[in-house]
Each structure stands twice: as structure tokens, then as C-alpha cells.
Structure 1
């Protein structure tokens, strides 16, 4: 029938294009987007789908909605920028088991707290993944403690190294403990109690001078943390290291143990060192099977705009075709009768 032929013509294109439109409409309503903004969202969803990322259009749409919620106020509004952060979130999930919504949250926090770009925030997370720091623990540390590091005058380098050295000494639990150790140190050193001053003097640090330099900004909290840890590590007595470390850095020092606590550093790897590290994230998608799936998805997306054209052509051509078939039918019947 005419309806059946028309349905076959548009079946391929209708599925993907309509799903993209439904996701776009939902996001547009949720954020009261302008038409131009909605167009960027639609394009971003299609871009990510074409890259063979995400299990479905709906899944990509949900991730895109999360990205809009987290990044719109940070100036990430273009189709290229939106598709970039969403695509990176899926790649991080596939490669390092980061939860897609959580990694989007973490990337946005890194941008907001430390003025990173979308590319740099992905490089930060990729660096953690390559160091073996995968899953939710590292993400939780970023979400919970980035404000602490920022308030202490620290930067993304400092947060990365605290998490990295914490993991190296204590695994996934060490990441949280390491950042908590820094938080306790910051509180105690800022209070500058007599006990803390005495402990600083005992490890060979002039407490009056150090606190004055921290007060006028000559020495940052992160610099002071590394300085104190270095001095503690020079002591011969493990008992004294524990006692003085706990006094200056809090009970977390004792809980972690001397070896692990002394290994925590705020420096070592910089964001410059992580530049370009995300190139390897695309490796998974270069095999033959993934390539064929990507081609199939691209065809689905590319043919979508032709749906209306197909329908118009079908409306014009199919009636003529059917009339021709009807006119030809008697001739076919006569020929068949003679053959018999």
C-alpha cells in the first residue's frame, strides 16, 4: 500500500531524529532555552551519538541535561562545547568507570573553583584515572574538598597531588584521608595555638616567622603543609613524628600512620604535565567493530533531515506509481493467460 511504502521510506530516519527532538524538547522546557540554545543542544546530542558514545539517545539526552545544569552558568553553551564535555564524560566512564553524572559534576567544580577550561578539567580526571584512581572515591574528594583547597589559596595542581599521593599510600580510602589531613592542618595552623607553635619549634621551624609569613601571604597554606611534612620526615623517632604530626595536622595524621601521612604532598604533577593526556581516551573507539557502529550512527543522523523530503517525494510519486501498476495489471493478466 501507499502507507506501507511511505513508512518504509522514513522508518530509518524517523527513529533517531524523533528521539533527538524529544530529548531536546525536554531539556528546552527544563531550562527555558531560547531556540538558538535548543538548536545547540540538539546538535550536541547528535554529535555525541555519531561518535558511538552512550547506549542510546535517551542516555545521551540525560547526560546533556546534566551538562546544561552544571556548565551553562560557566559559559559552556555552544554545540561544540556541550558535545565535548558530554563526550568526554562517556569516555571517562568507559575507560575509568567514572559515573557520567558525577564526572560532569566534578569537571564543573574544577572549572568553577580553579578556573580550568573544559579540556583541562577532563585532563585532570584522566590523570587520576591513569594513576589508577578510578570510581567514585576520587570524584567524592573533588566535590567535597575543592572548596577547602581553593579557600587555602591552593590550585588544581595541589588538589590533584593530594589525591594522587593519598591514593599511592592508602588506595581508594587514602584519597579521602589525604584531603581530610590537609583540611585539619589548615584549621590548626590558622588557629595557631600554643601547642601547635611548640610543635613547630620542636621540628625545627620558627613558628613565629612561619605564621607571620602565612598571615601576609608570603607562604601559602599548601607550601606550609609540604614544609611541615618534610621537617617531620627528618625526625629520627617514629613516636615523636606521630605525636608532633598529630598536634600540627590533627588526629587524621595518627589515623593514617606516619609513612602514609608523610607521603602526602601538594606538588609534583602540574596541569601542564597533564596537557594532551586525553588523546588515549579515543583509543577504544578505533577498532573495526566500533568504527562500523559509528558509521551506522552517522548515517542515521545524517539521513534524519531527509525525512520530510522523503515524505514529500512519496506523496507526489507513489500515487503515480500505483496508477501505473493498476494500468499494467490487465496486460500482465492477459500475458499470463496466453502462457498458460
Structure 2
């Protein structure tokens, strides 16, 4: 887009626009409150360098109004969201201002506490979501939803931590399995948490299970889910399996139901007890009795490896904190404007992208 086309698009006379950037700045400041104020700075600082990207950011009214209506934001919430969105776009994140708003909408609607978050918190969390999407090729809306679930079920303390955990785990698996890890995190996160398995440990277990592809990831999650059911069901099968490793079924059940560190210790005792069984057949029988048919589906010869992976996963992932921040810096180092894959919402009429 030429400067003439750009000026024509915004409705300014060519001569004033060429004479002073203040005219363009004033125009932007009058278009959309917080959104427009930030874009005014973009217009002066970047000139026509943003080209079509800047032009696409100008028509903000329908996009902004749709989001305010969709989330039923108060005036104060809308103002903070607008400042955050404008800042992110000014810093070069997203394909367009509307795309940044798509990510912001996803974060605010999916992650607990983000509707009333400060501008700085909104910027930091939404940037993490955009970086995750751009770097690993996942949908920013889906990633935000999974991150929100991680916060809700206790796997992560906040949205940024959830994005960091996802970013580190997804970077450790093949490209085609990243969506499977997202799905497994979403489906099985609550069961990991009920056993006192924290976010870094749970994500390590899922990432490590990717060695057997989608099948391995799914069976890891299924086996954890089955254990939470069987180990507390009070059945004779469970009692016999725990008795075989010298544990009292009633105490194990109560400890697991207590959650937190108490559940974590009980789970570790069970895994260690199973590994100490010398007879392969007896060990397989006890393990399958506690972890169910998903473990049997993996193959009885792989049961020791599975149990050892539960021990290894207990150490958690290393260097997961700040993962999305490091990714973002790497993306920015090449001097190019970062962009993110469009979400499914992008193609809907009236959407932000």
C-alpha cells in the first residue's frame, strides 16, 4: 500500500498528511480509545513500514465492540484490555491488531482471573500465548483454553506458568504429536493433580510417553486415570495387589484421597513397591490390577519401563520456567515482525482477525 492509498484509506487530505505526522496521530487517537491511542504511536513511529498491516489495524470499531460485547466487559475491563492489545501490537506481536485481540479474548475468557487482571498481566499472559502459537504452530485459542484448564485443576499457578509448561513439553515431542499432548493435558490433567503429581512432573510424563506416538501419550493418561479409580475403589483385586507390595489398601486409599503431597508420597510408594517385585509375572499382574487395561495394552514386557518412567517423571522437566519468554526473544532476534497462525475464529464474519 502506497502512502497515497494509506492516506486515502484513513480519510485525510494528502497535503496535511505529508506536511505533518501529527495529523495522522490525531486521527488515530480519535479512533477507538485505548486501542486508537496506541496505534497513533505506531503510525508515527513506523510510518508506512507496516503497510497493509497498519491499514488492517485501523478499522477497530467492529472488532473492539464485538469483544466487549462477547465478554460483557465493564468499562474498566475494556480499557485495560484495549491498552494491553495496543501495546502487544505496537511491540510487533500478531498478524494484525485483530489477531492480537483474538488471543486476548481467548486469554481473558479461558484463564481464571484474567478478566480483572492488570494491563501488565494481560500483556504478559497474552504475549506468552502468541509466542507459543507462533513458535510451535498451535492454535492460540486452543492453547489458551488448555492453559486455563491447567490453572483450574492446579497444574499451573497462572497463565504464564501454564504456557511455559506447555511450551517446554511441546518442544520435546515430534511436531505431529503436539496436538496430542495438548489433548492429553486437557483430558488427564485433573487425574495427575489428584495424585499430587505437579505440572512439571505431569508434562514430563506426557512428553516422555511420546516415544510410542499418540498411542503412548493416550495410554499414559488412561493408566493414570485408571489408577485414581482402582486404587481407591476398595475392591479385593486392589487390596491383593497392594498387599503384594506390603501396603495397606485402606491407608493408601485415604492418602490418595487426601491429595497434595500426601497423595504424591503414597503414589511413589506404590510405584517403588511394584518395581521391587522380582517375579515378572507377579509384577505384571499387580501393576495391571492397579493401572488397568491401558497398561496391559502397552505390552507386559514394557511394564518395568513404564513404572521407571513414572519415577523419572517425578523429577519433572528442567528449565521450563520462562520457556515462552526465551522463545519470544529468539523470534525477535531476527528483526522480523513475529506473526502467529490464525485460529479457526479468524474466518468467522465479525471476528477480530
Distance 1:173-1:56 versus aligned 2 partners, 3 A rule? farther
**SS at structure 2 position matched to 1:124:** helix
Who is 1:311 aligned against?
none
Who is 2:202 aligned against?
159
**SS at structure 1 position matched to 2:321:** coil
Is 1:227 equivalent to 2:258 in the alignment?
no
The Cα of 1:184 is off from its aligned counterpart by 0.4
Is 1:268 equivalent to 2:309 in the alignment?
no
Instruction: Provide the TM-score with structure 2 as the length reference.
Output: 0.70
Gaps of 5+ in 1: 295-340
The Cα of 1:76 is off from its aligned counterpart by 4.8
Distance 1:150-1:261 versus aligned 2 partners, 3 A rule? same
Is 1:33 equivalent to 2:76 in the alignment?
no
8 A Cα contact 1:166 1:260, kept in partner:
no
**SS at structure 2 position matched to 1:191:** coil
**SS at structure 2 position matched to 1:101:** helix
**SS at structure 2 position matched to 1:190:** coil
Q: Comparing both structures, which one devotes a greater share of its residues to helix?
A: 1
Deviations 1:275-321 (A, max 9, x none): 3344421233333441xx48xxxxxxxxxxxxxxxxxxxxxxxxxxx
Who is 2:172 aligned against?
131
Q: Give, in whole Å, the separation in 1 of the partners of 2:253 and 2:335.
A: 61
Q: Give, in whole Å, the separation in 2 of the partners of 1:237 and 1:274.
A: 38
The Cα of 1:100 is off from its aligned counterpart by 0.9
Who is 1:71 aligned against?
111
Is 1:142 equivalent to 2:203 in the alignment?
no
- Name segments (4+ residues, structure 1) moved above 6 Å: 215-219
The alignment of Structure 1 onto Structure 2 pairs a total of residues equal to 290
Calculate the aligned-residue CA RMSD, in Å. 3.2
Q: Give, in whole Å, the separation in 2 of the partners of 1:207 and 1:219.
A: 18
8 A Cα contact 1:158 1:222, kept in partner:
no
Distance 1:253-1:224 versus aligned 2 partners, 3 A rule? farther
Deviations 1:78-108 (A, max 9, x none): 2222222221112112222332111111221
Distance 1:216-1:277 versus aligned 2 partners, 3 A rule? closer
Gaps of 5+ in 2: 1-7, 28-41, 44-53, 339-353
Is 1:80 equivalent to 2:123 in the alignment?
no
8 A Cα contact 2:111 2:148, kept in partner:
yes
Larger Rg: 1
Distance 1:207-1:148 versus aligned 2 partners, 3 A rule? closer
Is 1:117 equivalent to 2:158 in the alignment?
yes
Who is 2:94 aligned against?
54
- Larger mean CA deviation between 126-135 and 211-220 belongs to 211-220
Distance 1:149-1:217 versus aligned 2 partners, 3 A rule? closer
Deviations 1:185-238 (A, max 9, x none): 111110121122112222343445544655677974443333222222233343
8 A Cα contact 1:19 1:57, kept in partner:
no
Out of 3, 11, 15, the residue aligned to residue 5 of structure 1 is 15
Distance 1:213-1:56 versus aligned 2 partners, 3 A rule? closer
